[in-house]
A and B are shown apart, each in its own frame.
Chain A
Amino acid sequence: MNIQVLLFAGLAETAGASKISLSFADEQVNVQAVRNELKNLLPNLEDLIEKSMVAVNQDYAANDFVISVGDEVALIPPVSGG
């Protein structure tokens, strides 16, 4: 399956893109697998990816949450609103 991951703020700036496409052999993958693949593709962002949350369909998702085709996935670096 293919997953597009939305990137924001410092993540997007360093990656040079506001989204990144990931390809997996499996039809279902969990959040941890997405994290691992992002770290492979963006090794210079490994620390920030580790500190970031993953959101699935606009809600925070734990590492064992299973992502399905069509889900909206985003990497949420530590927030600084307010």
Chain B
Amino acid sequence: MKNFFLTKEKIEIQPLIDLVTNRNAGAICTFIGTVREMTKGKKTLFLEYQSYVEMAEKKLQQIGEEIQAKHPDADVAIAHRIGRLEISDVAVAIAVSTPHRAASFEACRYAIERIKEIVPIWKQENWEDGQQWIGDQKEQVAYPSGKPELGGERE
């Protein structure tokens, strides 16, 4: 099993935890992102996630490398689902193990924020009265420097 992958199947968290479990770990922090029904008073019926799969898996791996650059003892696993998702389905799951708890919380938070910046996955909201591809949830209208901040870009 790969540590960084996209899948059309339901995501289970335990296999990700197993991937990062090791004898030097004193903490494993997990994050599970689920499909929310109500957003600003509007009812979502279902979501459709599309991706540039090969690049997305590389970018998930890059996030893991960025975390390890800061926390060399961290182990990271990330899965993101694509295709049609129903309410409460798991869209993304992250597991990070570190020797001590503070780093695992920090790294787990970093991973989900970074996913929303650099991983080429797109969400289509499907409402009762229509549908729309969503961009830019972090409200960076454009990438200010012409490209996402930090690490991994071409010069």
Contacts and interface: CB of A to CB of B under 8 A. Distances in A.
Interface of A: 6, 8-10, 13, 50-51, 53, 55-56, 58-63, 65, 74, 76-82
A76 B55 CA distance: 11
Give the secondary structure class of B's interface. Answer: mixed
9 contacts: A9-B133, A51-B135, A55-B55, A59-B153, A60-B118, A62-B153, A63-B146, A80-B133, A81-B119
A10 B58 CA distance: 22
Contact of B52 (A51, A55, A78, A82): A55
Nearest to B147: A60
A82 B91 contact: yes
- Of the candidates A8, A79, A80, A81, the one having the most CB atoms from chain B within 10 angstroms of its own CB is A81
Interface residues of B, number: 40
